[in-house]
Amino acid sequence: MSNYKYINLREKPELKETAANWFHEKWGVPTEAYLECIDAYIEGTTEYGWYVCLDGEKIIGGLGVIDNDFHDRNDLAPNVCAVYTEEKYRCQGISGTLLNMVVEDMKNKGISPIYLVTDHVGFYERYGWEFFCMAQGDGEPEPTRLYIHR
């Protein structure tokens, strides 16, 4: 099995710029927006965390928690966002481990339920997520699926 290391960015704050750039490369959201959220987490002004999987020093997977992931259901918060695993590392349970890690961490902090938006069907269900409703994404032509983890 692998020697991957799963961490939250409070454990390795020196990775914040690398992580913000990595998330930006995957999703196109400005690096500054990621840094703002990651800094708030590291500094303790929010418990909405940022989590990565490392292969050595290289980030190969990650996700974060924010109030709203660019959709019209502001009443459904917080949202897991930016879930991504590098293509050559997929199908090894990395995203699933990160998802379980964030669910456990949020529950330990009294934050439940949590939500996420996705167009994937069948993936998140494997990790205890349930389809909840459709939500309209900002600037998206069609509504997208919104999931809940209780």
Tell me: the pLDDT tens digits for 41-93? Answer: 999 999 999 999 999 999 999 999 999 899 999 999 999 999 999 999 999 99
In a domain, 125, yes or no: no
The token duo for 61 is 């997977």
pLDDT for res 74: 92
Which residue segment(s) compose the domain that 77 sits in?
5-112
- Residue 130 inside a domain? The answer is no
The answer on pLDDT for 7 being more than 60 is yes
CATH of the domain at 27: 3.40.630.30
Q: Is residue 138 part of a domain?
A: no
Distance, CA of 79 to chain centre: 8
pLDDT band for position 28 (cuts 50, 70, 90) = very high
In a domain, 64, yes or no: yes
pLDDT for residue 79: 97
**How many domains would you assign to the chain?**
1
pTM, two decimal places: 0.92
Q: What DSSP string describes the chain?
A: ----EEEETTT-GGGHHHHHHHHHHHH---HHHHHHHHHHHHHTS----EEEEEETTEEEEEEEEES-SSBS-TTS--EEEEEEE-GGGTTSSHHHHHHHHHHHHHHHTT---EEEEES-SSSGGGGT-EEEEEEPBTT-SS-EEEEEE-
Residue 122: inside a domain, yes or no? Answer: no
What is the pLDDT, as a whole number, of residue 30? Answer: 95
In a domain, 83, yes or no: yes
Residue 10 located in a structural domain: yes
